[in-house]
Structure 1
């Protein structure tokens, strides 16, 4: 008597060569490797996916851009969770609302083990990806904060002494200096000074 076959059993019994890789599956596998602390090797990734390296490169652009997407996925999750906590905090508005989000994000990044392991294993590349334009990550962070500042300025909740884009650039750079440099050097970053600088820059003349 043959056992009953289900769609799941059929899928699990497929040979890897029968499975169709996609750009999303490439990203998910690369992200899984990174979360496990494995180095990102595009040749190995292409082999594991059963595709040519040229196909993988066409999908992801290059190693920096792929890693940028992985880092952004981590940041975006942390950012969304920080927003949710701030929204659930009673009577939290204006500069206090923004400051809590900023500090929560920095604390979460400091405690993110994959980020720590990555910067310990590949400090030069990691710092380049996190603080330069090669991966597109910094531009996304600046754009995210710029939109938040523009909304708060339009609502009259903050009155900074610089425009939203410049403000976003500086608070992102402050966060980079406060977190990544210490992580690379093996020191425990202190988010407090970055939080104070954030409040001073964003608050402007408003008391």
Structure 2
């Protein structure tokens, strides 16, 4: 009886027999970034054994690919923060939202790959994170706007601005907290941002 299985045969295939896909390109790029490697599309295409034109067709451009990587980091942190807050029955309304916001900011302050990236490529990194060239900024605003809309419809918060505007400002405040060491040489501190969040979302700090 042969000891070969479909898995062992697949693993023994030559690299040239494996077909790269847009998803495998993203996964490899993300792994490189987490390892602290610079994102080089020519090297990525070579490693995937596809033409650079094919890779560009898949990912759009370097900014958009990096935006997907950064969004995947944020989305994982956001989902984990939501799950922790939902697991605490004592949290409701402004307390629920503030806990999520604070958890996300703390996680991003402590995200070593993110800060390694910003130290190595500060100009490009800040452009990706604080503008919409990569599509990341709008995704962040849309994500928070949906959460605010849900809480507004439930009557658990009563801000003095609409959900989209509120989401934009709390994202900007978060950026000033998370990246302040690079922007102005200050030590990141999530508490003032959480205080400002409560003021904007609920109009008071109690």
The answer, yes or no, to whether TM exceeds 0.5 is: yes
Aligned-residue offset at 1:178: 1.0
Aligned-residue offset at 1:91: 1.9
Aligned-residue offset at 1:4: 2.6
Question: Quick check: 1:87 aligned with 2:95?
Answer: no
- Structure 1 residue runs without a partner (length 5+): none
For 1:58, the equivalent position in structure 2 comes to: 57
Deviations 1:171-202 (A, max 9, x none): 00000111113256665411111110000000
For 1:190, the equivalent position in structure 2 comes to: 189
Tell me if structure 2 keeps the 8 A contact 1:23–1:60.
Answer: yes
Deviations 1:115-151 (A, max 9, x none): 1111111110000000001000010000000011111
Tell me if structure 1 keeps the 8 A contact 2:198–2:205.
Answer: no
Tell me if structure 2 keeps the 8 A contact 1:183–1:189.
Answer: no
Tell me if structure 1 keeps the 8 A contact 2:151–2:157.
Answer: yes
For 1:34, the equivalent position in structure 2 comes to: 33
Tell me if structure 2 keeps the 8 A contact 1:116–1:183.
Answer: no
Change (3 A) 1:8 1:171: same
For 1:173, the equivalent position in structure 2 comes to: 172
Give the TM-score normalised by the residue count of structure 2: 0.95
The answer to which of 178-187 and 152-161 deviates more is 178-187
Aligned-residue offset at 1:90: 2.0
| Aligned counterparts of 2:194 and 2:61: Cα–Cα separation in 1 | 34
Question: Quick check: 1:117 aligned with 2:116?
Answer: yes
Change (3 A) 1:158 1:185: same
Give the TM-score normalised by the residue count of structure 1: 0.95
How many aligned positions are there? 206
| Aligned counterparts of 1:206 and 1:125: Cα–Cα separation in 2 | 36
Tell me if structure 2 keeps the 8 A contact 1:103–1:195.
Answer: yes
Change (3 A) 1:166 1:16: same
Q: What is the root-mean-square deviation of aligned Cα atoms in Å?
A: 1.7
For 2:18, the equivalent position in structure 1 comes to: 19
- Structure 2 residue runs without a partner (length 5+): none
Tell me if structure 2 keeps the 8 A contact 1:161–1:205.
Answer: no
Change (3 A) 1:206 1:159: farther
Tell me if structure 2 keeps the 8 A contact 1:119–1:184.
Answer: no
For 1:142, the equivalent position in structure 2 comes to: 141
| Aligned counterparts of 2:14 and 2:168: Cα–Cα separation in 1 | 48
